[in-house]
Amino acid sequence: MANEVELKTAARQLGVEVKSVMDSTDLTAAEKGERLDKLQAESERIGAELKNLERARALMTGAGSAEEPENQGAAIERRSLGEQVVNDPAYQKALASRGGRYSAMTTVGLKTQGATNMMGESTSGTSAGSALSGYFLAGTAGPSILPNFLPGIVEQRFFPLTIADLFAQGATDSPVISYLKETAWTNSSAATGEGATMPYSTDAIARVQEQVGKVTNVHKITDEMLQDASQYVSFLNNRLVFGVQRQEEVQLLAGSGYPGVNGLLARTSGFTVAPGVSAGGVTITGGLTFPAGGTPGAGETGATVSTITWGREAGTPNTPATAVQIADGLFGALTDIRFAAFCEPDAFVVNPYDWQTIRLGKDSQNQYLGGSFFGADYGQPQNAGESLWGKRVVVTPVIPQGYILVGSFKENAQLFRSKGITVEMVNTNGTDFEQGLVSVRATSRLALAVYRPQAFELVKLATSTS
């Protein structure tokens, strides 16, 4: 029988697999149902084994025996603090809410020796302490008027996560992803006369390796918070995992390699370039940061790609590109990839302001090319949605304004995860035990394999300073 850690790890992995099934665009509804049935059966098996382990633990520690404790008014807790944390409802809720997919540091005040407390204890007495006085009105009757305390926490908003879902998904139990790639083929086939020497052809392969990187996040909570503020603890745990996911997106797009991820845009030197452009493309030194500094709703530290190679420039240099010029340039990128890599692109990644320029494009009659704000032009219904040239448009501030990424994401790149995102708690980190603190950490290990870099192209939009 598997131990408790293995079972809980398996349960988290199930969550990842469920999300992968539901997000898949290649499976039919019937196929999704069949896979979900198998996952549900596996979930029920894991749940049953966990219950059996809990019962066995209770029997071995004497719980449920006929012997009663001397103090009938107080229950005796026989579990260690680690077991209490793992089984705490707040922890379980946070874990379940992310389906097993849980870097930036969540900032929480730390309770140190002699420092102000985090829970606002010291509220006993005949008058409200300073932490409560702001909740009540002044005047004689003020303390008797109860505020209307609303449930929940009003959270900050961040722009949606989009990049990870563009790639095909995979799992790995090794820290290295290795695969063979054909690098050259010379086909010397030729018409050959009787008795003449037949031509030789050659082929070459190479092994490509990607190292699994790691994204982490950690925060501390107190014993009192764990016991008395379950809503806040659950909120923090969700933020912990959300922070890891947001940094994952940056790493997948612009990571520079181990200890992080070798991101997609770190390989622009291998991207397709338009015919007539020099083999190395046009390179900008100094790099670009993804997302750009100061981008609202980022919620993470950006990553800078030191050298960017784009395949073509849309528009006329030194003049801001128009909607039609951008659309023409993007169709050119589709053709470049089809011609050079024999792959069919499936998506554009566009900054919201660049998408605005495209979407508000008008013809000579001042009609919106993508349909008016009432949904119709020339009496005909229009519903362009977020698509262009029949391809999906992913609108996200993670890519800086002025650059559009075109590529065949699902077919030619794959995201590998090692055990999904894990969340762990411990009270033996430094002086945590004596200070009544619990350290909570989230860890994600992942790697990006880009099988054909030439299946991608970066388009630069012309500006007044091109």
Other Cβ atoms within 10 Å of 241 Cβ, number: 24
Question: How many CA within 13 A on the CB side of residue 265?
Answer: 32
d(CA 298, CA 291): 7
Helix (H), strand (E), coil (C) string for 328-353: HHHHHHHHHHHHHHCCCCCEEEECHH
Domain 164-185+202-461 bears CATH identifier 3.50.50.60: no
pLDDT at 2 (0 to 100) = 62
Place of tokens 């452009």: 277
Q: Where are the domains of the chain?
A: 164-185+202-461
pLDDT for residue 409:
97
Q: Please, are residues 298 and 254 in contact by the beta-carbon 8 Å criterion?
A: no
Quote the longest CA-to-CA distance of the chain: 116
C-alpha closest to that of 168 among 461, 427, 395, 448: 448
Which two tokens mark 265? Answer: 């845009």
**Bridge-partner residues for 416, per DSSP?**
170, 447
Residue 49: count other Cβ atoms within 10 Å of its Cβ. 17
Q: Which residue has the tokens 């240099």?
A: 317
Predicted confidence pLDDT, tens digits, the chain (466 residues): 566 667 777 777 777 777 777 877 777 877 787 888 888 888 888 888 878 877 776 666 554 444 444 444 444 344 444 444 445 555 455 445 544 443 344 444 544 544 446 665 555 555 555 555 667 788 888 878 888 888 888 888 898 999 999 999 999 999 999 999 988 999 999 999 999 999 999 999 999 999 999 999 998 999 988 888 888 888 888 889 999 999 999 999 999 999 999 999 999 999 999 987 765 556 777 778 889 888 888 888 899 888 888 999 999 988 999 999 999 999 999 999 999 999 999 999 999 999 999 999 998 888 888 877 776 665 555 555 688 999 999 999 999 999 999 999 999 999 999 988 999 999 988 888 999 999 999 999 999 999 999 999 999 999 888 6
Per the CB < 8 A criterion, the answer to whether 307 and 264 are in contact is no
Give me the residues paired with residue 179 across strands. Answer: 208
The predicted model scores a pTM of 0.70
Closest CA to 175 of 47, 261, 116: 261
Tokens of 58: 């209770």
Contacts for 24 with CB less than 8 Å, ≥ 6 apart:
32
Contact 246, 158 (CB under 8 A): yes
Tokens of 228: 């008395």
- Type of residue at 197: T
Residue 200, Cα to own-chain centre: how many angstroms? Answer: 48
Beta carbons of 401 and 353 less than 8 angstroms apart: yes
CB of 409 within 8 A of CB of 442? no
Q: Helix 230-254 crosses helix 89-97 at what angle (to 10 degrees)?
A: 30
pLDDT recorded at residue 209: 92
Q: What is the pLDDT of residue 350?
A: 97
From 301, 260, 265, 263, select the one nearest 284 (Cα to Cα).
Answer: 265
d(CA 292, CA 294): 6
